[in-house]
């Protein structure tokens, strides 16, 4: 082979340790024969590959079809099928009410909402005050207030410091001192609040003539007085 022919061939690269090309690929004369870069070192040991195993699931046992069949042959259905048949299909609507009383079923109720008239004025709380001098016990009782469904509450006070007063919702109750009678004590300093809408009769408990004050509280719709 002549000198001119050799200049057109490619020579194989020769990479030696401790050179720039050798350091690029990690080649070093300090490596041990088994490939460890540390002189005298050994390759690192690696853990073996772990194989994950699932817990074995045993085959399901057959369904119990004896006493749960309720008199039906077990071969006709399973307990799950019987429960589904008794429960029925799923539905998104409310169940219809069933009327079990005698006669025809009443019509379904219609919801009613009580609202205030938007054209009316605001509610007015009104009151009425009176004073009575009661007769002595044994005389004709005094009718303090009558039955009134518009009355919200009744305030009453015994202004006498020496005599008690008998109260009742009937005239005979204060005349005969029955069990329906109550005592309004003497020397009161504040009104007694009674949430009643019925009659109130009164008479002195002894021979005195005490003074009694009452206040009736009403609620008027539309701000109009009666």
User: What is the CATH classification number for the domain harbouring 177?
Assistant: 2.60.120.770
pTM: 0.44
- Whether 190 maps to a domain, the answer reads yes
pLDDT tens by residue, 40-52: 556 666 677 778 8
- Which one, of 137, 144, 151, lies nearest residue 204 by Cα? 137
- Whether 182 maps to a domain, the answer reads yes
- Whether 209 maps to a domain, the answer reads yes
pLDDT (0 to 100) of residue 226 = 46
- Whether 96 maps to a domain, the answer reads no
- Whether 135 maps to a domain, the answer reads yes
**Domain limits for position 184:** 124-221
Q: What is the dihedral of CA 178, 179, 185, 191, to 10 degrees?
A: -110
- Whether 81 maps to a domain, the answer reads no
The answer to whether residue 206 scores a pLDDT higher than 70 is yes
Decide: residue 136, CB within 10 A, 0-12 exposed, 13-18 middle, 19+ buried.
middle
- Which one, of 143, 130, 136, 133, lies nearest residue 169 by Cα? 143
pLDDT tens by residue, 1-19: 555 565 667 677 777 777 7
Cα-based distances in Å from 14 to 20, 30, 32: 12, 18, 21
Of 33-37, 50-54, 84-88, which one has max mean pLDDT? 50-54
């Amino acid at each position: 082979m002549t000198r001119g022919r050799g200049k057109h061939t490619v020579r194989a690269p020769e990479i030696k340790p401790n050179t720039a090309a050798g350091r690029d690929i990690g080649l070093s004369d300090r490596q041990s024969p088994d490939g460890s870069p540390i002189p005298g070192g050994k390759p690192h040991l690696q853990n073996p590959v772990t194989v994950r195993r699932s817990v074995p699931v045993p085959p399901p046992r057959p369904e119990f079809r004896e006493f749960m069949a309720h008199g039906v042959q077990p071969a006709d259905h399973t307990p799950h099928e019987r429960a589904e048949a008794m429960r029925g299909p799923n539905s998104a609507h409310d169940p219809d009410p069933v009327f079990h009383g005698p006669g025809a079923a009443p019509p379904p109720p219609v919801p009613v909402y009580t609202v205030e008239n938007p054209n009316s004025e605001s509610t007015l709380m009104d009151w009425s005050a009176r004073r009575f001098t009661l007769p002595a016990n044994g005389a004709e009782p005094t009718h303090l207030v009558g039955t009134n469904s518009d009355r919200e509450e009744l305030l009453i006070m015994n202004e006498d410091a020496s005599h008690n007063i008998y109260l009742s919702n009937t005239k005979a109750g204060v005349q005969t001192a029955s069990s329906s009678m109550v005592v309004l004590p003497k020397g009161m300093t504040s009104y007694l609040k009674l949430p009643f809408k019925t009659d109130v009769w009164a008479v002195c408990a002894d021979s005195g003539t005490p003074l009694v004050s009452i206040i009736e509280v009403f609620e008027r719709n539309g701000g109009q007085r009666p």
